[in-house]
Chains A and B, each alone.
Chain A
Amino acid sequence: GAVVSQHPSRVICKSGTSVKIECRSLDFQATTMFWYRQFPKQSLMLMATSNEGSKATYEQGVEKDKFLINHASLTLSTLTVTSAHPEDSSFYICSAKGGRIDTTEAFFGQGTRLTVV
C-alpha cells in the first residue's frame, strides 16, 4: 500500500507554545487528508478534512483557530496546535487519500504523541 509519513512521532511542549505536526504522502498524490485525535482506549475522532488547495473543513466542536490545518501541496498537510494546553495532550493521526470517492481507501500515518507540560 501507499506510504504516509507523519512527523514527529513524539513531541513534548510547554503550555502556551505551538507545535506543528507534518503529514506527508510519500508515493502518491493526496487530494484529501484527514486529521484525527485519539484518546487512550478510544476510537479515532475526526477533527478536520482538508482538500489540496482549499480550506479545511472542521468537524463540529473542533476549534479551527486552535488547530490550524494547511494542505498546501498534494503531498503535505500540517496540523499546528496553537497555544497548547495540557488538555490538548493526545495521539494525533493523519490519513490521506489519493481520490475523493468513498471507495478509495485512506492510508494512515504512524501518529504523533503530543504531551503538553
Chain B
Amino acid sequence: AQSVTQLGSHVSVSEGALVLLRCNYSSSVPPYLFWYVQYPNQGLQLLLKYTSAATLVKGINGFEAEFKKSETSFHLTKPSAHMSDAAEYFCAVSGGGKLIFGQGTELSVKP
C-alpha cells in the first residue's frame, strides 16, 4: 500500500526566508508524487508533480521539489517566502488510479 507522511502539521517562516515542507512516501512501486496547495474554503491547486522524469521538479509560484529515492522523500522548497504563500500544503502519492494525501502542513508567513 502507498502512503505519504508530512512531517510537521504547522510551519512558520518569516517573509523572505526559505520554505521547506517535508514529505516522505512509502511505495512498493515507483511513485508518482504531487504537491497541492489549499487556500481557506477552497479546493486544491496543483503546485508540481513528479512522474519519474527529472528528479528536481519545478512548479508554480517559485516552488520546487526534489525526489530522493534513497531517502523516500519529496520535500517542497521555495527560496524566499511571500505573504501570499500562507496556506495549507498537501503531499500526495498516486496509486491505483487515486490520490492518497498526507495530513497536510499549514504554512504561516510572518512579516
Using a CB–CB distance below 8 Å, which chain A residues touch chain B?
A: 1, 4, 6, 32, 34, 41-44, 46, 49, 91, 93, 95, 100-103, 105-111, 113
Contact = CB atoms under 8 A, between A and B. Distances in A.
Given A49-B97, A105-B34, A42 B103 contact: yes
A102 B101 contact: no
Given A103-B32, A111-B41, A32 B97 contact: yes
Contacts of B41: 91, 111, 113
Contact of B97 (A1, A100, A108): A100
Given A43-B103, A105-B49, A49 B94 contact: no
A41 B17 CA distance: 25
Contact of B42 (A95, A105, A111): A111
A62 B60 CA distance: 34
A102 B43 contact: no
Contacts, number: 56
A108 B103 contact: no
B32 A110 contact: no
17 contacts: A6-B43, A34-B98, A41-B106, A43-B104, A44-B90, A46-B98, A46-B100, A93-B43, A95-B44, A100-B97, A102-B95, A102-B96, A103-B52, A103-B94, A107-B46, A108-B43, A109-B43
A100 B95 CA distance: 11
B99 interface: yes
A46 B101 CA distance: 9
Contacts of A43: 90, 101-104
Nearest to B36: A108
A42 B88 CA distance: 10
Interface core residue of A4, A101, A102, A109 (most chain B CB under 10 Å): A102
Contact of A103 (B36, B43, B51, B100): B51
A103 B43 CA distance: 20
Interface in B53-86: none
